[in-house]
Structure 1
């Protein structure tokens, strides 16, 4: 495995085997059920090596598998997205075949069987649970969980495919490399929802075409309840569904109301409130006690310090470090 500094720490679990049956059992356990049709071992047998970690209900795995293998998947519900680093990997459904090149991504369709053929692959695989995808899809488009289906294993475009790989790479280096950040409920919640939202944007699915119309109007009282809920719970993981429930309206209706009356979205307002709380903490902190900008930013769920600094300067006219010093 390369990038040892990224995959270091006890929260990254390593596994290796040269036994073919054990390798297939690992695939079934870690990703999805499969029926193996052919497996041709190399000089080192199956040659399976992995390093993996989990963020709540999301699993990410760097995998190298040297054996030539043909298999068929069984529908499992969860989403497995593969980013190919090197090797040969082809997925097919009927006569539709997709041969990945280095750097490309593919989705193992969760609702129907597929054929896969791979040989000496090095890949980064993310497994996202169905329940999380349904939650995020519903909050974005109003689609019900039962109606969420993915239509293709190809990304909508090469650009969006690269967006997935960049997003996952950034989160791996900035969040999954640090157990303390992974244990932070705000950061973990934001990371989970970001990955699910990215998957929904990258691969064709029914939520993109939902076009659900808002049901009813949001009263001023309901909007105030939504704002109050966010203000009172900014230090906790927050979803659009939770805010909508507190306001007593449909999630899609709430999204439109925030656009119409606040010129923002509920989650952008959450970020705005957290930025304000970080500002207050920076003003009140004594740098002589060892408090740092990084500590305060991470407390409020900001993992990308460069973006935090940019947003902070735009909002308050100075850098976070200047506020802390003065």
Structure 2
């Protein structure tokens, strides 16, 4: 059984169903064709879905009330942001196993391979945005032609302020559409909401315009900054200081520091720390390396293991031991 109340552009609707085939048809109509299976057949499906559409965006709060496997395969011409409110989702994104929970949202782009395992208590806030308008907006903001889908990071930390702010903004728009679905029929209001959400999505979510800006900066790097960057990449396992780097590239420490701040947005030592974090992740995924987070972390200069684990999770969306388990 399902209920549905629609309002023109807003298309505000409430769906409920205990039938697996009916649920799959409803969800396919909102997102895309997919396979839906209950992983524990004894459980009763209790699908609940509040949905609202506004132009090129749609918003949902949904859950299945049972353990389910959802397999859309390859996504179509849209972007999808999924924010678990309760429970969790063990997903496979382009062949990589990830876990999304109330601390970690997931972002998926056109052509992304996706398989999901929703827990029975999993409830999500989900935003869909059509590909063409978002990428047109990206071109308008950056002044650069798109060479493919925007490369958002697949798993993001909801404790990061900008990510949490974007989710809160999208939830506010969803709440307003539920209170007054006719807002989506007002062109000026709809355009204002869409422009705000696209601008902040591209600016605040990891991998959006931030990645393009970093690429542009690297193309314009002064010689001494590029030389220091290359030196750190080649000698990241050695004891390095600002004085060492400045001597190697032939500038003062102050000039080097100012160059990194201006063109890369971080200090030389922060850049080195981030680089070593990447190298530690590579070793954690390498089955030929020691099966010890402690040994790998200390090899790359991370002696405060609690801080390493916290920074690692904030950066990569999972704990170091979870990365190691995937690589073994």
Unaligned runs of 5+ in 1: 1-7, 214-326
What TM-score, normalized to structure 1? 0.55
- What is aligned with 1:82? 82
User: Whole-Å Cα distance in 2 between the matches of residues 123 and 33 of structure 1?
Assistant: 19
Structure 1 residues 139 and 33: alpha-carbon distance in aligned structure 2, compared to 1, 3 A threshold: same
Question: Are the equivalent residues in 2 in contact too, given 1:41–1:67 (CA < 8 A)?
Answer: no
SS in 1 for 2:87: strand
Moved more, 204-213 or 106-115: 204-213
Matched, 1:24 2:24: yes
Matched, 1:194 2:201: no
Structure 1 residues 69 and 108: alpha-carbon distance in aligned structure 2, compared to 1, 3 A threshold: farther
What TM-score, normalized to structure 2? 0.55
SS in 1 for 2:113: coil
- What is aligned with 2:61? 62
- Deviation of residue 54 (structure 1)? 0.9
Unaligned runs of 5+ in 2: 217-328
Aligned residues: 206
Structure 1 residues 178 and 37: alpha-carbon distance in aligned structure 2, compared to 1, 3 A threshold: closer
4+ aligned runs moved over 4 Å, structure 1? 8-11
Q: How does 1:182-261 map to 2 (within 5 A)?
A: 182-205=184-207, 207-211=209-213
User: Whole-Å Cα distance in 1 between the matches of residues 134 and 111 of structure 2?
Assistant: 13
User: Whole-Å Cα distance in 2 between the matches of residues 59 and 21 of structure 1?
Assistant: 23
SS in 2 for 1:147: coil
Cα deviation code 1:228-263 (max 9, x no counterpart): xxxxxxxxxxxxxxxxxxxxxxxxxxxxxxxxxxxx
Structure 1 residues 92 and 201: alpha-carbon distance in aligned structure 2, compared to 1, 3 A threshold: farther
Cα deviation code 1:106-148 (max 9, x no counterpart): 1133222022111222111111000121121011112334433
Cα deviation code 1:81-103 (max 9, x no counterpart): 11211122122236633322225
CA RMSD, Structure 1 to Structure 2 (Å) = 2.9
Question: Are the equivalent residues in 2 in contact too, given 1:58–1:129 (CA < 8 A)?
Answer: yes
Question: Are the equivalent residues in 2 in contact too, given 1:104–1:161 (CA < 8 A)?
Answer: no
User: Whole-Å Cα distance in 1 between the matches of residues 38 and 6 of structure 2?
Assistant: 35
User: Whole-Å Cα distance in 1 between the matches of residues 177 and 69 of structure 2?
Assistant: 34
